[in-house]
Amino acid sequence: MHSVYLSHNNIVSGYGLDAKDAVENIRNESTGLRSVSDAEILPHPICTSRIDSDVLQNTFMELQPKEAYTRLEQLLILSLKETIKASQLKLTDRVGLIVSTTKGNIDALEPQNPFPESRAYLSRLGEKIRTFFGFQNEAVVLSNACVSGVLALAVAKRFVLQGTYDHVFVAGGDLVTKFILSGFQAFQALSEEPCRPYDKNRTGINIGEVGASVLVTKDKALLAKESVVLLGEASCNDANHISGPSRTGEGLFRSIEAALKQSGLHANEIDCISAHGTATQFNDEMEAIAFNRARLQGTPINSLKGYFGHTLGASGLLETILGMHSLDQNTLFASKGFQELGVSQPLNIIETTTPKQMTTFLKTASGFGGCNTAAIFKKVFL
């Protein structure tokens, strides 16, 4: 069986237009979360990380677009543009496109939005991205709640192994909208302060905005310095509740076990964990239980939500890309916002940026609908 690799990548975020900008700031433990007052979104201030609209607009116009693109399309296109360019890959019919998003252009439903309501169809979003670059086949849009970003990498690998494609570009993004914030607020899950995953005094989630992208390929000649091989991946449902995680961490535990089995690694060979860590009481507790069941309680672990907030359909992809850079730099990234353990089971939370020789990491995500995904990555260039 072929190995499948993650290679060239990009992150367009509040930190800047490049993955390097995000990595540098995270190394310095500098959060991208800010208190923002935007009456069009919510009547009171929200804590979020977003790309400056002028910067986004100006940078996008440099691409000389031939038609109008939505904010989300601009984010995805800007990110993919850099990833495709770095790969120097020609977009033949052997190259696929996966777009990971939960809500796509959902702001097109707003009456004052300049785009027609039809722009809210996710396949339309996939088509806009596809035609901008000239991908030859229909885009695969994956919309699987908060696991979408990491599940998209598993899907890409499966299409490569199945022979559907030789290479797949995966792009992920979602917007900070009134639609999303009003919903999470109705769940009383939104925090007005920067979120604090796994912390005793955590007060809920923040929603953030990024565009992220990566090349998934079986071709070793196309690798980047920070490339990793996707050794094992699995996705298991909790079969328990549509909006609350399992109290036993069932689906996440099963996902981790299955991913470990496929990777051929033991739990003690995982050098660090990039967890979901949304900073809600139920999510963080569920994860602590699942990681303990999988005997991973001693493994250094972080949630990167304290830097970006929850970036929804992008989050699993964003955090995997940062995991690649963390391995490449042999540096554990601090779990921003954490001070005192606030879950019932032990976890080895990374409290400060720390050098450590590493070769492997585990990425996990969990979401509404009871979905969970785990993926294990190993550094290619030691």
Partner 1 sequence: MKTSYFIQEYCHIQNGAIWRNGESLYSNGETDFKTFIKAAYKTLDLDYSKFFKMDHLSKLAFIASDLLLSSDTEKNTALVLSNRAASLDTDRKHQKSIENENGYYPSPAVFVYTLPNICLGEISIKHQLFSENAFFVFEQFQAAYLHDYASSLLDMGRAEKVLCGWVDMDDEKYDAFLYVVAKNGIFAHSKEKINQLYQTPWQI
Q: How far is CA 124 from CA 70, 81, 121, 130, 169, in A?
A: 11, 19, 5, 10, 18
| Phi and psi based region of residue 16 (left: phi greater than 0; alpha: psi -120 to 50; beta: remaining) | left
Shortest distance in whole angstroms from residue 139 CB to partner 1? 9
> Residue 157 and residue 283: Cα distance in Å, rounded?
27
Find tokens 């909208």 and name the residue. 177
Shortest distance in whole angstroms from residue 254 CB to partner 1? 6
Shortest distance in whole angstroms from residue 148 CB to partner 1? 9
Nearest to residue 265, comparing CAs of 155, 168, 379, 153?
379
| Closer by beta carbon to partner 1, 194 or else 251 | 251
Backbone angles phi, psi at 354, to 5 degrees: -140, 130
C-alpha torsion sign, points 72, 8, 311, 171:
positive
DSSP 8-class letter at 333? P
| Closer by beta carbon to partner 1, 141 or else 332 | 141
Name the active-site residue from 47, 236, 272, 310. 310
> Residue 49 and residue 314: Cα distance in Å, rounded?
13
Name the active-site residue from 8, 276, 325, 371. 276
> Residue 212 and residue 101: Cα distance in Å, rounded?
11
Q: How far is CA 294 from CA 191, 205, 267, 288, in A?
A: 30, 25, 7, 10
Residues within the interface to partner 1 (CB under 8 A): 102-104, 106, 109-111, 120-123, 126-127, 138, 140-145, 151, 155, 158-159, 161-164, 178-179, 182-187, 234-243, 250-251, 254, 258, 262, 367-371
| Closer by beta carbon to partner 1, 31 or else 101 | 101
325 is catalytic: no
The per-residue DSSP string of 210-232 comes to: -EEEEEEES-GGG--TT-EEEEE
Shortest distance in whole angstroms from residue 165 CB to partner 1? 9
Name the active-site residue from 146, 195, 236, 272. 146
146 is catalytic: yes
Shortest distance in whole angstroms from residue 100 CB to partner 1? 11
Shortest distance in whole angstroms from residue 237 CB to partner 1? 4
Backbone angles phi, psi at 80, to 5 degrees: -65, -35
| Closer by beta carbon to partner 1, 52 or else 138 | 138
| Closer by beta carbon to partner 1, 38 or else 127 | 127
| Closer by beta carbon to partner 1, 120 or else 347 | 120
Residues noted as catalytic = 146, 276, 310
